[in-house]
């Protein structure tokens, strides 16, 4: 019986796929006139294989040759639009955001992994979740969390110092950045500790978060189809009978996330029920995001209140969104500073000076966020190396998309707007927008923190990039912008300020291959292009007294 049910499910999936392929291949589309690279030659993967390949930097650069909107071949023969035109982006993420939804693959994957959290919901349900979460990501709340962050980064400093007391040493800083990012979101976000930062004992929750993406990502489009078949219980029943190793491992990891998330929420609820005295004795002292969310949820009206399922889903959603992306940017920052010792030294002097102003104590929140060179270094890194090079959207109905710059069609006509059919998938070119030479100037592909210390180009200001942060699309914009971008910024600045006043970082002379940054879904470093092991070996030396 089980075998028959599985076979029927597979037949249904194949039928749906073949029907979609047939419609795409043999029906003319208004998108056919949009310029783009030569056909991919693969109806199965299209250009997606190059677009998301870990060595796909050159393919992204080639997008500039075709205009601000580029037609690509998507999976299963579907057209895919690559968009970084500022006016088009404004319509997609702000003006008409209600008709540009996250792709089915994105929603299916996040719902399967995390449940009905921020990354897996749409429309009114998503707005309700953001409404109750917004206050805990406010600047005022960031101030309250800063002491928690310093407590974690001081432990990080001590752990690294213990490894270099006898002299300089090559250390995998990517490993440490993942660990500190997990602990920062653990204490500041969830009010619990995942990693004491004293030994290399792996944490089951953190390991599950890190492993799930690579396991599920290759089959994410299959999830889109299976998500529409039967009830959740039926899908689970079928999934448990799929013999493939990816399915077995995914079930195991997802169960770990759900179990730990429930334990965290239940412990917070129990502490809140016992009163303030119990709350302040927990990690985070009740200032963490989940504790504040539960408190707000208790007094919310019935229509605004989140279900227990939604609250639990926010736990693993928050950790996943904060851990890989922030640790990647921190690793990139350290690599760039090691590669640019003059920038590192200038930044160190600024941080040490601010520390001296605080009489040797921790730098206050207001002073930390206003340090000009620290801010410039972080902004420039987020501009040039956004954690996500792009993100997908789907049109839920036919729409006319206006353009800021006319597009020359394949037939030679000049187009000022585009007719986009319903269900067309697009890729928002975050990396392309952040590096657009027409807006940022001819040095757009160069890392220059100093550009943020002078007025930005008028062409950029007048383009009105719809990003929520610094004329960048790094954290997106509109109702689907990154809700925790202030949290992420504070993490980066606290970690950098703590490390730079204690250590110097440089590129090890013994490296056989240069450090290479892989594009992929989320950028990660390897030693050379052949290796797939994420690592960032840097020479770390304890700073002598007097900052020398």
Query: pLDDT tens for residues 325-374?
Result: 999 999 999 999 999 999 999 999 999 999 999 988 899 999 999 999 99
Chain CA centroid to CA 274, Å: 36
pLDDT of amino acid 217: 64
pLDDT of amino acid 242: 66
Distances (CA, A) of 357 to 346, 360, 363, 383, 513: 17, 7, 8, 30, 42
Place of tokens 């440490």: 176
Q: What are phi and psi of 426, to 5 degrees?
A: -130, 155
pLDDT of residue 539 exceeding 70? yes
Q: What angle do CA 457, 458, 459 make, to 5 degrees?
A: 90
Determine which of 220-234, 284-298, 355-369 has the lowest per-residue pLDDT on average. Answer: 220-234
Residue 81's beta-bridge partner residues? Answer: 71, 426
- Of 108-122, 214-228, 390-404, 432-446, the range with the highest mean pLDDT is 432-446
Confidence of residue 9 (pLDDT cuts 50, 70, 90): low
Confidence of residue 230 (pLDDT cuts 50, 70, 90): low
- The C-alpha R_g of the chain, in whole angstroms, comes to 24
pLDDT of residue 6 exceeding 60? no
Determine which of 102-116, 231-245, 372-386, 485-499 has the lowest per-residue pLDDT on average. Answer: 231-245
% of residues, the chain, pLDDT over 70: 86
- Residues 6 or more apart whose Cβ sits within 8 Å of residue 204: 256, 260
pLDDT of amino acid 396: 85
Do β-strands 414-420 and 399-408 pair in parallel, antiparallel, or remain unpaired?
antiparallel
pLDDT of residue 13 exceeding 80? no
- Residues 6 or more apart whose Cβ sits within 8 Å of residue 192: 186, 264, 267, 282, 283, 284, 288
Confidence of residue 114 (pLDDT cuts 50, 70, 90): confident
Distances (CA, A) of 17 to 12, 20, 455: 9, 5, 51
In the predicted model, what is the mean pLDDT of residues 239-260?
Answer: 78
Which of these, 323, 54, 316, lies nearest to 177 by C-alpha position?
A: 323
* Mean pLDDT score across all residues of the chain: 87
- Of 189-193, 268-272, 413-417, 531-535, the range with the highest mean pLDDT is 413-417
pLDDT of amino acid 108: 81
In the predicted model, what is the mean pLDDT of residues 403-423?
Answer: 94
Q: What angle do CA 525, 508, 388 make, to 5 degrees?
A: 15
pLDDT of amino acid 20: 55
Each residue's pLDDT tens digit, 32-85: 999 999 999 888 889 988 888 889 898 988 888 899 999 999 988 889 999 999
In the predicted model, what is the mean pLDDT of residues 375-381?
Answer: 98
CA distance 407 to 438: 15
CA distance 190 to 263: 11
Whole-model pTM: value is 0.89
Residue 537's beta-bridge partner residues? Answer: 172
pLDDT of amino acid 249: 80
173: left (phi over 0), alpha (psi -120 to 50) or beta: alpha
Confidence of residue 292 (pLDDT cuts 50, 70, 90): confident
Confidence of residue 161 (pLDDT cuts 50, 70, 90): very high
In the predicted model, what is the mean pLDDT of residues 109-135?
Answer: 89
The runs of H, that is alpha helices, within 168-244 are 173-185, 204-216, 220-226, 232-239
- Residues 6 or more apart whose Cβ sits within 8 Å of residue 195: 179, 182, 183, 186, 203, 206
| Higher-confidence position of 86 and 112 | 86
In the predicted model, what is the mean pLDDT of residues 390-402?
Answer: 90
pLDDT of residue 7 exceeding 70? no
| Higher-confidence position of 14 and 254 | 254
In the predicted model, what is the mean pLDDT of residues 442-467?
Answer: 97
Do β-strands 537-542 and 503-506 pair in parallel, antiparallel, or remain unpaired?
antiparallel
8 A C-beta contact, residue 334 and residue 494: no
- Find the length of the chain: 548
3-state SS class at 416: strand
Burial (CB count within 10 angstroms: exposed 0-12, middle 13-18, buried 19+), residue 178: buried
Q: What are the DSSP E strand ranges found in 421-523?
A: 425-429, 503-506, 515-518
In the predicted model, what is the mean pLDDT of residues 507-518?
Answer: 94
CA distance 93 to 427: 12
- Of 109-123, 292-306, 445-459, the range with the highest mean pLDDT is 445-459
CA distance 292 to 300: 12
pLDDT of residue 496 exceeding 80? yes
- Residues 6 or more apart whose Cβ sits within 8 Å of residue 259: none
CA distance 159 to 164: 9
% of residues, the chain, pLDDT over 90: 55
Do β-strands 69-73 and 425-429 pair in parallel, antiparallel, or remain unpaired?
unpaired
Q: State the Cα torsion 329-334-339-341 to the nearest 10°.
A: 130
Three-state SS string over 168-187 comes to CEEEEHHHHHHHHHHHHHHH
Question: In this structure, what DSSP letter does residue 305 have?
Answer: P
235: left (phi over 0), alpha (psi -120 to 50) or beta: alpha
pLDDT of amino acid 276: 62
């Amino acid at each position: 019986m089980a075998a028959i049910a599985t076979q029927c499910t597979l037949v249904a999936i194949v039928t749906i796929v073949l029907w979609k392929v047939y419609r795409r291949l043999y029906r003319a589309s208004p998108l056919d006139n949009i310029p783009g690279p030569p056909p991919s030659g693969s109806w199965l993967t299209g250009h997606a294989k190059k677009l998301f390949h870990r060595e796909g930097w050159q393919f992204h650069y080639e997008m500039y040759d075709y205009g601000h909107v580029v037609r690509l071949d998507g999976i299963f023969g579907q057209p895919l639009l690559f968009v970084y035109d500022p006016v088009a982006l404004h319509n997609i993420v702000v003006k008409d955001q209600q008709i540009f939804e996250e792709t089915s693959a994105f929603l299916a994957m996040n719902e399967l992994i995390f449940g009905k959290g921020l990354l897996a919901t749409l429309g009114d349900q998503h707005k309700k979740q953001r409404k109750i979460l917004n206050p805990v990501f406010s600047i005022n709340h960031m101030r309250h969390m800063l002491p928690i962050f310093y407590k974690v980064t001081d432990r990080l400093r001590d752990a690294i110092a213990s490894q270099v007391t006898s002299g300089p040493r090559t250390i995998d800083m990517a490993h440490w950045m993942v660990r500190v990012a997990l602990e920062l979101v653990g204490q500041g976000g969830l009010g619990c500790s995942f990693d004491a930062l004293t030994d290399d004992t792996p944490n089951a929750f953190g390991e599950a978060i890190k492993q799930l993406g690579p396991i599920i990502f290759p089959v994410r489009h299959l999830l889109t189809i299976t998500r529409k078949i039967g009830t959740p219980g039926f899908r689970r029943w079928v999934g448990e009978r799929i013999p493939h190793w990816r399915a077995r491992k995914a079930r195991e990891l997802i169960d770990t996330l759900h179990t730990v998330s429930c334990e965290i929420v239940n412990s917070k609820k129990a502490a809140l029920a016992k009163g303030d005295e119990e709350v302040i004795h927990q990690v985070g002292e009740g200032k963490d995001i989940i504790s504040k969310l539960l408190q707000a949820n208790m007094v919310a009206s019935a229509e605004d209140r989140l279900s227990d399922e939604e609250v639990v889903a926010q736990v693993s959603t928050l950790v996943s969104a904060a851990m890989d992306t922030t640790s990647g940017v921190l690793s990139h920052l350290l690599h760039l500073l090691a590669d640019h010792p003059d920038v590192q030294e200038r930044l160190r002097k600024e941080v040490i000076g601010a520390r001296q102003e605080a009489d040797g104590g921790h730098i206050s929140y207001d002073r930390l966020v206003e340090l000009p060179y620290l801010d410039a270094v972080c902004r420039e890194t987020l501009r040039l190396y956004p954690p996500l090079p792009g993100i997908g959207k789907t049109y839920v109905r036919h729409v006319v998309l206006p353009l800021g710059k006319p597009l020359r069609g394949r037939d030679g006509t000049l187009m000022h707007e585009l007719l986009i059919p319903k269900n067309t998938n697009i890729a928002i070119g975050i990396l392309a927008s952040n590096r657009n030479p027409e807006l940022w100037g001819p040095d757009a592909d160069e890392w220059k923190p100093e550009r943020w210390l002078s007025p930005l180009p008028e062409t950029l200001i007048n383009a009105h990039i719809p990003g929520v942060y610094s004329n960048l699309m790094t954290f997106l914009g509109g109702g689907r912008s990154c809700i925790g971008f202030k949290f992420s910024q504070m993490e980066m600045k606290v970690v950098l300020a703590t490390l730079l006043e204690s250590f110097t970082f440089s590129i090890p002379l013994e490296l056989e291959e240069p450090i290479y940054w892989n594009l992929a879904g989320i950028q990660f470093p390897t030693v050379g292009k052949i290796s797939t092991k994420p690592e960032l070996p840097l020479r770390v030396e304890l700073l002598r007294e007097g900052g020398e």
